[in-house]
């Protein structure tokens, strides 16, 4: 079954909204014309940056084009993040999420949130659903790249997956009923199971 993020975004509006949240926050102070200009500039920037591929990965021209297509429907700020900071940052985001779940803790602006404070911040269902999209991005990449040329990246993903699978979870889908029919548990296992510590 082919995974289609666009379908996920349509069926699960929360993900779409939160993927855009960071972008909206930074652009709220701009007026409409300025926002349009910023978006156009970012699109131009995206175009040229994608040609260089994703830092940290060995990619052919065809693989770059395929990934560009696959991530086309993702938020611009996410794509810029990916093609500027590369696979290391994506792995870092994934590990950071796992650490956050394992320890019920997060850090913003030098302030550490734990337990209930964490649940009121990153440890709540919709934030978790947004953060876990980094694993979906990783999956899109894994399905496209050459395994032999990128074995370090793959090995790191597998290492983090083992850690993340060990986290105790409520046995349920965390995407909407419509979306559930589109995925297979064995392929998109991170959408099945909500960590026990995450607030519903």
Residue ranges binding Zn ion (CB under 5 A): 106, 121-122
Shortest Å, Cβ 91 to Zn ion? 20
**What whole-number distance in Å separates Cα of residue 81 and Cα of residue 74?**
11
Q: Percent helix, strand, coil in the chain (nearest 5)?
A: 65, 10, 25
Q: How far is CA 70 from CA 88, 90, 123, 138, in A?
A: 19, 16, 29, 12
**129 or 145: CB nearest Zn ion:** 129
**What whole-number distance in Å separates Cα of residue 131 and Cα of residue 63?**
25
**35 or 114: CB nearest Zn ion:** 114
Q: How far is CA 195 from CA 30, 104, 165, in A?
A: 38, 10, 10
**63 or 127: CB nearest Zn ion:** 127
Judge whether 49 and 80 are in contact, CB under 8 Å: yes
Residue 187, token pair as written in the block: 């392929």
**108 or 186: CB nearest Zn ion:** 108
Shortest Å, Cβ 127 to Zn ion? 7
**9 or 106: CB nearest Zn ion:** 106
Shortest Å, Cβ 46 to Zn ion? 28
Shortest Å, Cβ 29 to Zn ion? 23
**79 or 130: CB nearest Zn ion:** 130
Shortest Å, Cβ 122 to Zn ion? 3
Shortest Å, Cβ 5 to Zn ion? 24
């Amino acid at each position: 079954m082919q995974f289609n993020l666009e379908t996920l975004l349509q069926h699960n509006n929360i993900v779409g909204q939160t993927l855009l949240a960071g972008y909206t926050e930074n652009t709220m102070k701009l007026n409409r014309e300025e926002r349009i200009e910023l978006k156009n500039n970012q699109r131009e920037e995206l175009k040229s940056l994608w040609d260089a591929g994703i830092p940290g990965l060995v990619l052919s021209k065809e693989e770059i084009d395929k990934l560009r297509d696959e991530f086309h429907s993702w938020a611009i700020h996410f794509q810029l993040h990916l093609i500027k900071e590369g696979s290391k940052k994506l792995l870092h985001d994934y590990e950071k999420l796992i650490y956050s779940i394992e320890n019920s803790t997060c850090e913003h602006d030098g302030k550490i949130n734990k337990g209930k404070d964490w649940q009121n911040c990153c440890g709540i269902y919709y934030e978790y659903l947004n953060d876990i999209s980094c694993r979906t991005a990783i999956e899109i990449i894994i399905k496209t790249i050459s395994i032999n040329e990128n074995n370090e990246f793959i090995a790191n993903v597998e290492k983090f997956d083992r850690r993340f699978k060990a986290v105790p979870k409520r046995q349920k889908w965390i995407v909407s009923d419509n979306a559930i029919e589109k995925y297979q548990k064995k392929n998109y296992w991170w959408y099945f199971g909500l960590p026990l510590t995450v607030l519903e």
